[in-house]
Structure 1
């Protein structure tokens, strides 16, 4: 029997599969062990398979797609309102089926293994950057108790630690402690450089990566993160949808004749939004020295708005520009065009 939709509530070892007909009536709703899932899906006629975009969903999406099914991933927050009764796997699986039938649901594209590898590198890099900052702050705090104070910055830190090691006025215990700090710090720097080298190779080998690198405010880190998350932006119908997904559009509270606009929604991918705003900050800080339309627009906005507000506005404009250029597979042109200045 062919079902209109089969939904799967994912877990680590025990899964819940629910099949519905064309009237969204459950035909089965049963538990499956991890080693039973693929065999069960192999026995089903090709159909639409829907899962929440959560832990291990991209892996299972790739495996099930190999069997000929059309796999769709739905954001978990869109499923929650459809859960009826108690929170359990049985109700969750049916809620996924109901949510998937909504007309305006935007599904998440299943990532390839290569995309997930790049995403993993970004997650590891993010942790290492936090570790690097923590080690720097701890070293400065601990050494201040011994009267060792040095300026801010990476080079000042390395020079300060090296100065303690080479100074005979400090005890061997303190010097050994600083040697350990310096070794750990340098190892973290080495790992960060290795990751950034891999990200750079990924971007340089990809035409879409070169397109992104041509855009002001987009470097290797931003370009690789965007490619790993959205590929060519095919999951979005227009640039506005992409900006909304990133959470760069204002919150709206409207009722009757009242319409209030607030700060940005901060929905979607927090990491991508942060990186895009950081890139916009760099663009805004040097916009006064540039003559391209995007920089001129940012400079005019900077005359009346605070720096952070302008940075977010530029990030919003960059998001739209990114989608347009990726969709057209064109590189950014410095000459004035309707692309970068259009709303």
Structure 2
């Protein structure tokens, strides 16, 4: 295979990895120009030889947004595609999965005229996602720490209420009570566990402060947080609902499991809060939720509201409009 041409349009499929990056390039006539593996430090220099405006498509991964930002700054049309959209274009099927075949499939998928691509995140957006990911990690660690403390206490016959606040209140007295079975070494170990719990609480508080500051400073986040039940944490994460549209009719689907698990969790938690307090409000959405809860049950009402919030958030963020709880949609002619 010849090396990348200097003139004319080129489409490149890129399979990213930590150390080796596989590229597959075709020209305007869909003829394969090159297919080879590059070391990480060679990738940008190789892309610099591509004609300006060439399409470079890569699969969504931890470093995809970084590479796209670098390539866009070089004058290339860099885009990101999800793995499930590229997989059907792998000619060898599941049995032929390797870096070269994956790059070829990404290149083929990127050339489809109606292919959906992942928006490239800015440095600021990825920085905020770092805070969210750290926050979720600290939450999981805190839950594990609390469960570990409960398990250790149960071995000495000390069982407390399920609430973390109840455990935090009862722990000092249990550790100071000389009449229980806790030995000196066990008390020292539990003291360290309590310190760890306190440290995780401080880390979580710091993440919440950063998210709250982002909510105050970002207009889009502030606009999204106006939805019923949606707070700064959920508002600072973007989303797009699943679509099943054909024949000129648009059908926005539910909260697909192909999306981000963390985002779905936030939407469900926000919906639970809104459903629990819907009887205090008199807006159309709250009345709809109450009627649905009576008709179909609490769980279905929560999922339905989460789905509705996903669509409203998408509309608010893409159109730049303020949320109106009393808005009544009109079907276009």
Asked whether the two chains share a fold, i.e. TM above 0.5, the reply is yes
Q: Report the alpha carbon displacement of residue 70 of structure 1 after superposing the two structures with TM.
A: 0.9
Change (3 A) 1:327 1:78: closer
Q: Secondary structure, in 3 states, of the residue corresponding to 2:51?
A: coil
Q: Secondary structure, in 3 states, of the residue corresponding to 1:225?
A: coil
Which residue, out of 123, 147, 164, partners 1:137? 147
The answer to whether structure 1 residue 19 and structure 2 residue 31 are counterparts is no
1:96-111 matches, within 5 Å, as 96-111=106-121
Match in the other structure for 1:213:
225
Q: Report the alpha carbon displacement of residue 49 of structure 1 after superposing the two structures with TM.
A: 0.9
Match in the other structure for 1:275:
266
Contact persistence 1:26–1:94 (CA under 8 A):
no
Give CA-to-partner distance per residue, 1:100-143, whole Å, 9 cap, x none: 12243210011111111111211111111111111112211221
Which residue, out of 156, 159, 163, partners 2:173? 163
Match in the other structure for 1:80:
87
Change (3 A) 1:303 1:276: same
Using the alignment, how far apart are the partners of 2:140 and 2:283 within structure 1?
35
Using the alignment, how far apart are the partners of 1:275 and 1:342 within structure 2?
29
Match in the other structure for 2:3:
none
Using the alignment, how far apart are the partners of 2:61 and 2:222 within structure 1?
30
Q: Report the alpha carbon displacement of residue 164 of structure 1 after superposing the two structures with TM.
A: 2.0
Deviates more, 1:270-279 or 1:85-94: 85-94
Q: Report the alpha carbon displacement of residue 243 of structure 1 after superposing the two structures with TM.
A: 5.5
Give the TM-score normalised by structure 2: 0.88
Q: Report the alpha carbon displacement of residue 166 of structure 1 after superposing the two structures with TM.
A: 2.2
* Superposition RMSD in Å: 2.5
Using the alignment, how far apart are the partners of 1:57 and 1:243 within structure 2?
27
The answer to whether structure 1 residue 42 and structure 2 residue 42 are counterparts is no
Q: Secondary structure, in 3 states, of the residue corresponding to 2:37?
A: strand
Q: Secondary structure, in 3 states, of the residue corresponding to 2:57?
A: strand
Change (3 A) 1:277 1:243: farther
Q: Secondary structure, in 3 states, of the residue corresponding to 1:51?
A: strand
Q: Report how many aligned residue pairs link the two structures.
A: 317
Q: Secondary structure, in 3 states, of the residue corresponding to 1:32?
A: strand
Using the alignment, how far apart are the partners of 2:43 and 2:282 within structure 1?
58
Give CA-to-partner distance per residue, 1:42-81, whole Å, 9 cap, x none: 1221111110112311111111111011111010111112
Using the alignment, how far apart are the partners of 2:63 and 2:266 within structure 1?
24
Contact persistence 1:4–1:22 (CA under 8 A):
yes
Match in the other structure for 1:330:
321
Using the alignment, how far apart are the partners of 2:177 and 2:284 within structure 1?
54
Give CA-to-partner distance per residue, 1:179-204, whole Å, 9 cap, x none: 11110100000000001101111121
Give the TM-score normalised by structure 1: 0.86
Structure 2 stretches of 5 or more lacking a match? 1-5
